[in-house]
Chains A and B, each alone.
Chain A
Amino acid sequence: MKIIILGAGQVGGTLAEHLADEQNDITVVDEHAATLKRLQERLDIRTVLGNGAHPSTLLNAGAEDADMLVAVTDSDEINMLACSVAFTLFRTPTKISRIRSAKYLSEQTALFKSGAIPVDVIIGPEQLVTKNIEQLIANPGSLQVLDFAEGRIRLVAVRALAGGPIVGRELQEIREHMPRVDTRVAAIFRSGGDPIIPQGSTVVEPDDEVFFIAAREHIRSVTAELRTIDKPYHRIMIAGGGNIGSTLAERLEKHYQVKVIERSYDRCRVLSDLLEDTLVLHGSGNEPLLLQQENIENTDVFCALTDNDESNIMMSMLAKRLGAKKVITLITNAAYIDLIGDDIDIAISPQQITISSLLAHVRKGDIGNVHSLRRGAAEAIELTAHGDANSSKVVGRRLDELHLPTGATVGAILRGDEVLIAHDHIVVEEDDHVILFLADRSQISAVEKLFAVGFGFI
């Protein structure tokens, strides 16, 4: 597939990296020659220097026969305009754009259609991040929560704790503990080793990062197997009242006791007008006195969501030391994510989330959902099985007969409205949505090949 990526920033660069690995023709457009040069040294891609919205630049980048345009420059306006230009002049079939400003997003349905601004897919990183954090808070104990099939099936990552009923025991005992709950453990990551593809006899150890798939209503009971019961969260403190902070507070305030700390007095006033039940505090999340005054030791979740990575990290560590039960930290710089220690429970990377979301739309074939896990090393994807027993290597076969690459596990199958948690004896039917977990991202092409309808069989 021929893909043009506008913007060679963190998102554009990482996206190019992912896609180039998967045998696509990638052209990256940016206004900074140095950034492009660095990218080209690393990756097998074409680069074009210039403003992404200019028709001439787009023409140079090969817009005439491009299959897809992904606009992820820093400017919402350039992104939108580029999509419009590409549509008008080159009839580019698929146009994906990142739109950050909530001002545009609030009029989403009216603005982004072919008569107005022709964007096919909108990626709003802040919305995605907010939703992500919201789910982490709604599922206590989880490190990551991923939705499939409109949220009816979830893939959840949980750190196992000593004391959980299943910890120190074989996985197959889960069935005995909870006969009514159907779940599938997709992978276990143990520190300093390769991911473990779980068998019934695999023993869960404390501190394992366990990925399991279950229906939404069972998430809590499965989590409780791996940890002692996590009480639902009540008290949330958010440092940073920017777009993410305020939207998150707005969504949470009806169900939780929410406090928002914001440095700018004017912004505080705006927030206090906007939010109904949230307590808006004027100050900074790195003042120990303010945190103590506001009862940080009884806070269930502390979210550091300012636009400054260093501040976020430091105030998260401070909050954790002062007694916050769990801290969620927004970190933009991918390099930092590997540096942070145990003090930070969950690091959220807007880039990672944006890329996951972009990948889902860019990938060829019938991939419905893609979630990047463990900083991009692993992936969870939703694939549709096509064809029949003759033309497909998947349809009509039992799950244990599939020739999946190592590290790939089927987690669940969505058949019509029915959710089937994967068991060896289940037979894949046509149009099933298969949810797969890939412990190693490089296996993606092998899996895609497996699901592709092979004409040679006819």
Chain B
Amino acid sequence: MQFAMAFKIIGVLLMLFSSAMLPSLFLSVIHRDGVESAFATGFGMTLLAGILLWLPTRSLKRDLNIRDGFLVTALFWLVLGVFGAIPFWLIPSLNLSGAASVFESISGLTTTGATVITGLDALPQSLLLYRQLLQWLGGIGIVVLAVAVLPMLGIGGMQLYRAESAGPSKERKLTPRITSTAKALFGIYLLLTIACAASYFFAGMTVFDAICHAFSTVAIGGFSTHDASLGYYDQNSILLISSFFMVVSAVNFGLHFIAIQRRDIRVYTHDSETAFFLTVIALATCVICVLLVLTETFNVEDSLIHGLFQTISIATTTGFTTQDFSVWPLFLPVLLLMLSFMGGCVGSTGGGMKAMRILLIFRQGVRELRQLLHPNAIIPLKIDSRRVQTEIISAVWSFFAVYMFCFVSIWLALLATGLDFPSAFSAVAATLNNLGPGLGKVASNYAGVSEAGKIILCLAMLMGRLEVFTLLVLFTPAFWRH
């Protein structure tokens, strides 16, 4: 069987993943909140499915080839998304359809943060914890995927980060082997989460809320335990803490690793992508704060704090909200949505097209202009003082084109399900970029979207998370041919 290795891995993953339901099951049993059976069933089914996949292939030992890589990566989110939906589906009080449950689960695992559940404040803690945990697990999956797997598959210019690539990029090679790389990244991820949770706690959150919000902050997810999201606290210190950790989590984790290893903060300023990302965020924050003041949406102090927080939250594709930004003067929410197309840096938990790709496209544009002025000039496109190969630039361009093509297609499909124009537009942007909240009907939750619409949006979230090509390649006939 051609994909036997892929199934073996998915089997192991499912078995591991089943344990994600244990903390909630435990909490549920202690609190006697009536959802024990849902988590118990979810745990049992996931573990069983994992064992069933693993048992027949367990003795298989073969190196993964590139096709297995694509399949495992795509199935990872798809299969976990489906099994992760079981508890949502089984809890009667939520009253969610199958599609809605899968939507919620995938939204969690892809760290999108779009929700179909309302009345969060009244839900049992076990269920709330489960949602946050899904995002947190999704987050670490993404980091490992982005740093260790995607560069090998070479998607949309990600070969730029290939560990074995020559030249100054050698320092990208964190530690020699994938497993140790993954361990190192997990360590940083855990460290950030602990730091974030502690900060939240000292700023005044309850232990439970601090941990839950730390999960979704570091994962750049955006799920909250309150309907009002972080607006619930109405406390500037929490918003500032959150802003800080969102920015940190949107920076390449590989860079964090190097910075810690060398104990040198300059690693960040020497990295073009991070510099570009921070510049864009800073500029956008300025524009938005100024406009909030000028349009008299808030007073000056509120304009600054909400302008900063909301810009960072949306631009990093986290999707926490303090204010219903969809009712701000129209320019602002649209600008924010456009920022989410950039998203975080490569190798972070952020979504969108990644700052590196936007930077490359921007530099290519500048290069083209200079070339027009100096037809004889040899102008290389450089990132961090080294030449970027033409193939990588064209890979980035095709990524951009396919991303946009997917955006338009999904948008049209949503319009076909009957969603109105701005809601459909923002819903696609919010899911494809793994952002979360949109505008119009989907500003606070996605309960109002039709069943078909939810399935389409699930696809959009997966596409965004899997960098489009990883998913699309599965639909090419050649992939399945022997």
Looking at chain B, what size class is its interface with the partner chain?
Answer: 10 to 19
A269 contacts B378, C-beta separation under 8 Å: yes
Q: Are B378 and A294 in contact (CB under 8 A)?
A: no
From B15-23, B199-207, B369-377, give the one contacting chain A. B369-377
B370 cross-chain contacts in A, Cβ below 8 A = 279
Report whether A272 and B385 are in contact in the complex, using a CB–CB cutoff of 8 Å.
Answer: no
Instruction: Evaluate contact between A282 and B376: CB separation under 8 angstroms.
Output: yes
CA distance A281 to B373 in the complex (A): 12
Name the CB-closest residue of B to A275. B380
A293 vs B377: C-alpha distance when bound (angstroms): 11
Q: Across the interface, name the chain A residue whose C-beta is closest to B385.
A: A276
Interface size on A, residues (CB 8 A): 15
- Residue A281 contacts which of B377, B382, B385, B386 (CB distance < 8 angstroms)? B377
Whether a CB of chain A sits under 8 angstroms from the CB of B387 is yes
Say whether A224 faces chain B, with CB atoms less than 8 Å apart: no
**Which residues of chain A are near B379, meaning CB under 8 Å?**
272, 279-280
Contact between B378 and A268, CB atoms less than 8 A apart: yes
- Asked if A293 and B376 make an inter-chain contact with CB atoms under 8 angstroms apart, the answer reads yes
Q: Which residues of B contact A271 (CB under 8 A)?
A: 378
Contact A282 B385 (CB under 8 A): no
Contact of A273 among B374, B376, B377, B380 (CB under 8 A): B380
Within the complex, what minimum Cβ distance (angstroms) separates A158 from chain B?
34
Residue B378 contacts which of A272, A276, A290 (CB distance < 8 angstroms)?
A: A272
Cβ B374 vs Cβ A281 within 8 A: yes
Of the residues B375, B378, B382, B387, contact of A293 by C-beta under 8 Å: B375
Note all chain B residues with C-beta closer than 8 A to A279: 370, 374, 377, 379
Residues of A within 8 A of B375 (CB): 293
Chain B residue nearest to A279 (CB atoms) is B377
A273 to B384, CA, bound (A): 11
- What is the distance, in angstroms, from B378's C-beta to the closest C-beta of chain A? 4
Nearest CB in chain B to that of A283: its residue: B376
Minimal Cβ-Cβ distance residue in B for A294? B374
Q: Judging by beta carbons under 8 Å apart, are A282 and B380 in contact? A: no
A265 to B380, CA, bound (A): 13
Q: In whole angstroms, how far apart are the Cα atoms of A294 and B374 in the complex?
A: 7
CB distance B378 to A282 under 8 Å? yes
In the bound complex, what is the Cα–Cα distance between A409 and B385 (angstroms)? 51
Chain B, residue nearest A261 (CB): B376
User: Which residues on A sit within 8 Å (CB–CB) of B378?
Assistant: 265, 268-269, 271-272, 280-282
Instruction: Name A269's closest neighbour in chain B (CB-CB).
Output: B378
Does B380 contact A281, Cβ atoms closer than 8 Å? no
Q: Which residues of B contact A290 (CB under 8 A)?
A: 376
Which of B374, B376, B387 has the largest number of chain A CB atoms within 10 A? Answer: B376
Query: For B382, what are the chain A residues with a Cβ–Cβ distance below 8 Å?
Result: 276
Give B366 Cβ to nearest chain A Cβ, in Å.
13
Residues from 239 to 294 in A contacting B, C-beta threshold 8 Å: 265, 268-269, 271-273, 276, 279-283, 290, 293-294
Smallest distance from the beta carbon of B167 to chain A beta carbons, Å? 10
Q: Which residues of B contact A272 (CB under 8 A)?
A: 378-380, 387
Residues of A within 8 A of B376 (CB): 281-283, 290, 293-294
- Within 8 Å CB of A280, what residues of B? 377-379
Interface string of B380-411 (1 = CB under 8 A from A): 10100111000000000000000000000000
Bound form: Cα–Cα A271–B387 in Å: 11
State which residues 352-380 of B face A: CB under 8 Å.
370, 374-380
Nearest chain A residue, comparing its CB with the CB of B375: A293
A281 / chain B contacts, CB cutoff of 8 Å: 374, 376-378
Provide the residues of chain A in CB contact with B385, threshold 8 Å.
276
Q: Once bound together, how far apart are the Cα atoms of A273 and B385, in whole Å?
A: 8
Cα of A276 to Cα of B272 in the assembled complex, Å: 14
Q: How far apart are the CA atoms of A283 and B378 in the complex, in Å?
A: 10
Q: List 24 A-B contacts (CB under 8 A).
A: A265-B378, A269-B378, A269-B380, A271-B378, A272-B378, A272-B379, A272-B387, A273-B380, A273-B386, A273-B387, A276-B382, A276-B385, A279-B370, A279-B374, A279-B377, A281-B376, A281-B377, A281-B378, A282-B378, A290-B376, A293-B375, A293-B376, A294-B374, A294-B376
- The list of the 7 closest CB pairs from A to B, nearest first, reads A268-B378, A272-B380, A281-B376, A280-B378, A272-B378, A283-B376, A281-B377
Given contacts A281-B377, A293-B374, 19 further A-B contacts (CB under 8 A): A265-B378, A268-B378, A269-B380, A271-B378, A272-B378, A272-B379, A272-B387, A273-B386, A273-B387, A276-B382, A279-B370, A279-B374, A279-B379, A282-B376, A282-B377, A283-B376, A293-B375, A294-B374, A294-B376
